[in-house]
Structure 1
Amino acid sequence: MTLDTHGRTRDADDTEQVRGNVLVSIGALLLGLLLAALDQTIVSTALPTIVSDLGGLEHLSWVVTAYLLASTAATPLWGKLGDQYGRKKLFQTAIVIFLIGSALCGMAQNMPELIGFRALQGLGGGGLLVLSMAIVGDIVPPRERGRYQGLFGAVFGATSVLGPLLGGLLTEHLSWRWVFYVNLPVGIVALAVIATALRIPRKAAHHVIDYLGTFLIAAVATCLVLVASLGGTTWAWGSAQIVGLAVLGTVLAVAFVAVERRAAEPVLPLKLFGIRTFTLSAVISFIVGFAMFGAMTYLPTFLQVVHGISPTMSGVHMLPMVVGMLISSTGSGQIVSRTGRWKVFPVTGTAVTTLGLLLLHRLDEHSSTAEMSVYFFVFGLGLGLVMQVLVLIVQNAVSYEDLGVATSGATFFRSIGASFGVAIFGSVFAGRLADKLADAFRGVSLPAGVSADALKADPRGIGALPPSLRPAALHAFASAITDVFLYAAPVALAGFVLAWFLKEDRLRGSVTAPDVTETLASNPVERSSYDEVCRALSLLGTREGRREIYRKITERAGYDLLPAASWLLLRMRKYGSVEPGALADRGLLPLTVLLDAERQIEERRLGTREGVELVLTARGTEAADRLARAREDSLAELLGDWWGPGRPTDLSRLVKELTDELCGSECEQPRKGAGSGATRVS
């Protein structure tokens, strides 16, 4: 094998081709993730128009709830089936299910059809969420995982902003049906790229899949949501149907507990509830999901119906809430990672969320844009303060073997809370609207074809009212929606009280702020404990993270060396020699940094030149051995009490992998004679 005209070997070309395939595959995974994340937010601004077209305002909440429930229930199954049968085919299957659901949603002719098709779409969406992130772990080594996590976080952050805007834009200028049809071209591109570019090493793992437990917990959640959404509206609270659903839910809950006690790999291990921090975090997560998705579902209705704002502009008006969430979520996570103090955030966050709900209750048909923006921002600020930290403290509270399922459990409860919140908000809104419209028009003669029931089914009927009656109708809608926030405030206040009972344990060194994928969307992704530690330690994959770890390694080993010098010594220990110029060409470190490190190594007689390569001296070998021991000790220290007696073998394997990865992969190591104009013949 010879060098090409650019001074690179064919091995390097092969490596770059592999990296190119990884980048293309990551792009396709991001498209799949974009679809699933977008559909959690894009529908909100289209809901008033959908209701006006299909009718059934009392069922509005189920357009959101059906997707959330199906997605939440399906994610553990997708995760474990991917481990057993290979993630590529399963990811393609999830895309196809999602696209079929999207097409059917766009063709729906009535509300029950749309709700059913949204559930099918959610089934595929759950697979897109869990598998896209799991596949990254298959194709990207731990050392490089951090940079790709940033991309996935950026997609979630972008969808939280773009979803309401894009939903409004499509609804206003095309049709609400395009909110669903827009998925088709994006999904087809993702499907084609995955089929041609994605190559996943086969790492099948045998799992005993808890089908029955998954079905039962989804059934319990569905019964609860049905009771919450249909009680007092469709059926009376004391009716046989509501009582029957409540009894059925209770029986299923008892059966779920019995099944989980015996399951080999339970979908939600009951022993987690013996950990106070997990139990409190689960309840607070439920409350956060309850408040967040309930508000996000009904605020566009308030803006469009009460203030007459277009669907597109209603998305713009929602931006202060999203900005508040992004600022406080990112900021709180970074502060916690640096200081190790976290309790102030769930306490403050639930308090600010309660205040935000009370402020939203103050809104009416006369509220100015500035007033609405401030209230939206305060509400988003409160949610962001608590969302990021809840996942982090759960990860810190459980043992290593429960790390993955505890993380997915915390987000699972937020998803259930979201489904429950949207249903409760919908039930309160429908009941209050009926009463307020009846009061507004009591004793008033309405034009032919206009009635309180007709206005409930199609809010556009307000425009047909005489000018003298419109203010009363608008006030009825405004107060019915804002009353919802008043009823939600005590729930958020309960979260504030519970947050005081959280015990502020010292954070493990490996527990850092979760990325945005775990905070800005309903995302109960099933990962293993191994995956979670990989993700927590992937900060070592960033250049800043590596520099800091090598500074600590050098200090622990008792040397006064540049971080890059320690890095070079450990590479020489692993590969026998290094060629700084070639390493700089590969972009691993800037040339000036490498030359300074090389000069220090030679001056201290830790290394010597052999042609263009640098090799260890006897003194350098001793230093490299001490650095290697310090490196493993530093990684183990990051893991805290997970790295104790009887530690799992996969955790030991992870530390070894990360130790190797901190030196760089073999494809980055120049081979003998492969640099500086030398020619290799294979």
Structure 2
Amino acid sequence: MEDLSHKRKITIMIAIISAMFFAAINQTIVSTAMPRIIAILGGMEYYTWVITIYMLTSTIATVLVGKLSDIYGRKPFILAGIIFFIIGAFLTGFSTDIFQLIAYRGIQGIGAGIIMASAFTAVGDLFAPRERGKWTGIMMAVFGFSSVLGPTLGGWLIDNMDWQWLFWIFLPLGVVAFILILTLFPKVERKAGEKIDYSGSLFLSLTITALLLGFSWAGTKYDWGSVQVIGLFAAAAVCLVIFLFIETKATSPVLPLALFRNDIVTLSNIIGFIMNAGMMGALIYLPFFVQGVEGISPTYSGYVTMPMSIAMVIVSTVIGRWITKTGKYKRYAVLGMPVMICGMLIMAYMNSVPLAVVAMIVFGIGLGMGMPVFSLTVQNAVSPAQLGVATSSSQLFRNLGGTIGIAVMGTIMQSSLRTNMEDAAKEAAATGQGFDFSKLDPATAKQLADFQNPEMLLDQPKLEQLQQTLPKDIQPVITQMVETLRNALSDSLTTVFLAGTALVFVALILVFFLREIPLRTSNKMSQEEKQVGSAAAIDG
């Protein structure tokens, strides 16, 4: 598709960006509203699962679609992804409990994984590596714009309308995106002689599922040393061994192991994994600080996160153009990731909304500089025939890192919160400031006990309503209990943000070992460039 006219390429990119925006806005619109939705449906202990299932299904879909789209082309998969996403979003709005919400978000995840894998790979089909920097920056800007609009709109909707409309309001956009892809995107003939690796796909999916379930349940539903968690990790290890054996024998492997003999591909994927583990694991809990600790409504919570998205949109667009102009990319990761680390350190010690805004701006600048780089490094290091599977491997490791990061940070969050609450109770008892619930009638005592649950902080209207129903003589006690909850939650979030910072720092160290090769000006590799790629594989 590189030989298409410039005008045709632009129209195809409009179609791709429309599909991407549909998926991205449906994800970001629920970010600030999710704590309230969880409070309405119940099941805070399953909060991370709403995110984890989405990441799990999108991760599996991403890696499977990579190889398939190399065989059949990108068009049918983008269309299928949009259909999955529309169905998932429609059903999510009918959820009556947390378990239905999780299941339907899983369907949305399948659609999102297919859309993202196909869209980013299609850019590689359309443009030479040198030009991809500009378009990667623009696609990052699409995510950034959805991050600006989504949280704010989501907060306003959850404050003023039924929560179901968060999932339904953009369904017409999905239909428009489907029509654009159907009419504008060229069809590619199937590659002859390529076979689908069913066995490899099955055991890769089983490996990912067992691994992520183990991390998601460890420390929350089950102890880390429990039979269930150890059994899941053991199953993941067994499935991985079987998968590796299958891939060595497969004629057309779903994830070619030879790909990882390329040191650039391998190191880029490791960096993406670690960086996303720290970043996603920490950022997913930012609304807990804004809404839970500071008591800000979901609407204004969106305003707090907006500066990060604006900074990312501006910086990623500029950096993408600079990469295209200079052909250099490593320097932007080296400069951007320390800025991200500074932003996360500010998050760890923030104690006010203005400081949270500063953290968002700093982090957004670093994110805009560093994030466009690692897709380019992978795509530039492989031949056009491997573009789909290489791009999907990059997204696989990023999604895997993000999912495991969310699960591990969730465990850190729950463990730290439990410890902080226990310490607060012991301190109150030691200083004689504890309250004797036996002095109250059973109904009032039960209501007052609710103020020991951190979930109360995430639904401010319900908290205020419950506060007003209790006797005036115990209002000072209620105020003290709410303040204790907020302090415990704040301290727990500090631990989470510091853990995320440490992981991003490790990723920064690895960036210095990433070898930079010139960005090609054509998808056709010269003999010299093929030798560079071969050397990369040998060095790896």
TM, length-normalised to structure 1: 0.65
Please say if 1:420 is aligned against 2:420. no
Partner of 2:538: none
Q: Which runs of 5+ in 2 are unaligned?
A: 438-444, 468-477, 535-540
Partner of 1:208: 195
| 1:484 shift after superposition | 0.5
- Identity across the alignment (%): 36
Counting only pairs closer than 5 Å after superposition, residues 216-231 of structure 1 correspond to structure 2 as 216-231=203-218
Q: Which runs of 5+ in 1 are unaligned?
A: 1-17, 511-532, 535-635, 648-682
**Residue identity in the other structure for 1:205:** K
Conserved? CA contact 2:308–2:360, under 8 Å: yes
2:51 to 46, 64, 68: 64
The whole-number CA distance in structure 2 between the counterparts of 1:411 and 1:284 is 12
| 1:406 shift after superposition | 2.8
Conserved? CA contact 1:42–1:179, under 8 Å: yes
- 1:15-35 CA-to-partner distances (Å, cap 9, x unmatched) read xxx999998876655443222
Partner of 2:495: 483
Counting only pairs closer than 5 Å after superposition, residues 11-90 of structure 1 correspond to structure 2 as 29-81=16-68, 90=77
The whole-number CA distance in structure 2 between the counterparts of 1:381 and 1:23 is 27
Partner of 1:236: 223
Counting only pairs closer than 5 Å after superposition, residues 348-427 of structure 1 correspond to structure 2 as 348-364=335-351, 367=352, 369-398=353-382, 401-427=385-411
Counting only pairs closer than 5 Å after superposition, residues 223-302 of structure 1 correspond to structure 2 as 223-302=210-289
| Aligned-CA RMSD value | 3.6
| 1:341 shift after superposition | 4.5
Counting only pairs closer than 5 Å after superposition, residues 631-670 of structure 1 correspond to structure 2 as 641-642=528-529
Secondary structure of the 1:109 match is coil
Partner of 1:307: 294
Conserved? CA contact 1:508–1:640, under 8 Å: no
Partner of 2:486: 474
Equivalences, count: 499
**Residue identity in the other structure for 1:476:** A
**Residue identity in the other structure for 2:217:** L
The whole-number CA distance in structure 1 between the counterparts of 2:10 and 2:408 is 43
Partner of 2:475: none
- 1:527-583 CA-to-partner distances (Å, cap 9, x unmatched) read xxxxxx55xxxxxxxxxxxxxxxxxxxxxxxxxxxxxxxxxxxxxxxxxxxxxxxxx
**CA 95–401 in structure 1, closer or farther in 2 if over 3 Å, else same:** closer
Partner of 1:575: none
| 1:95 shift after superposition | 2.8
Please say if 1:448 is aligned against 2:432. no
| 1:118 shift after superposition | 0.7
Partner of 1:608: none
Counting only pairs closer than 5 Å after superposition, residues 609-624 of structure 1 correspond to structure 2 as none
The whole-number CA distance in structure 2 between the counterparts of 1:30 and 1:390 is 20
The whole-number CA distance in structure 2 between the counterparts of 1:201 and 1:416 is 31
- 1:201-236 CA-to-partner distances (Å, cap 9, x unmatched) read 462334322333333333323323222222122211
**CA 201–141 in structure 1, closer or farther in 2 if over 3 Å, else same:** farther
**CA 88–388 in structure 1, closer or farther in 2 if over 3 Å, else same:** closer
Conserved? CA contact 1:98–1:122, under 8 Å: yes
| 1:429 shift after superposition | 1.4
**Residue identity in the other structure for 1:248:** A
| 1:358 shift after superposition | 2.1
The whole-number CA distance in structure 1 between the counterparts of 2:380 and 2:185 is 34
The whole-number CA distance in structure 2 between the counterparts of 1:495 and 1:23 is 35
| 1:317 shift after superposition | 0.7
Secondary structure of the 1:166 match is helix
The whole-number CA distance in structure 1 between the counterparts of 2:16 and 2:387 is 25
Counting only pairs closer than 5 Å after superposition, residues 497-576 of structure 1 correspond to structure 2 as 497-503=509-515, 505-510=516-521, 534=523
Computing the radius of gyration from Cα coordinates, the structure with the larger value is 1
| 1:261 shift after superposition | 1.6
**Which one scores higher on RCO, CA 8 angstroms, separation ≥ 6?**
2
The whole-number CA distance in structure 2 between the counterparts of 1:64 and 1:508 is 35
1:433 to 385, 401, 417: 417
**Residue identity in the other structure for 1:381:** I
Partner of 1:562: none
- 1:142-184 CA-to-partner distances (Å, cap 9, x unmatched) read 9xx9898887565334213222222222222213222211233
The whole-number CA distance in structure 2 between the counterparts of 1:395 and 1:19 is 21
**CA 449–294 in structure 1, closer or farther in 2 if over 3 Å, else same:** same
Partner of 2:442: none
Conserved? CA contact 2:120–2:391, under 8 Å: no
The whole-number CA distance in structure 2 between the counterparts of 1:214 and 1:408 is 13
- 1:574-619 CA-to-partner distances (Å, cap 9, x unmatched) read xxxxxxxxxxxxxxxxxxxxxxxxxxxxxxxxxxxxxxxxxxxxxx
Secondary structure of the 1:232 match is coil
The whole-number CA distance in structure 2 between the counterparts of 1:489 and 1:20 is 43
Conserved? CA contact 1:438–1:452, under 8 Å: no
TM, length-normalised to structure 2: 0.81
The whole-number CA distance in structure 2 between the counterparts of 1:100 and 1:455 is 35
**CA 434–646 in structure 1, closer or farther in 2 if over 3 Å, else same:** closer
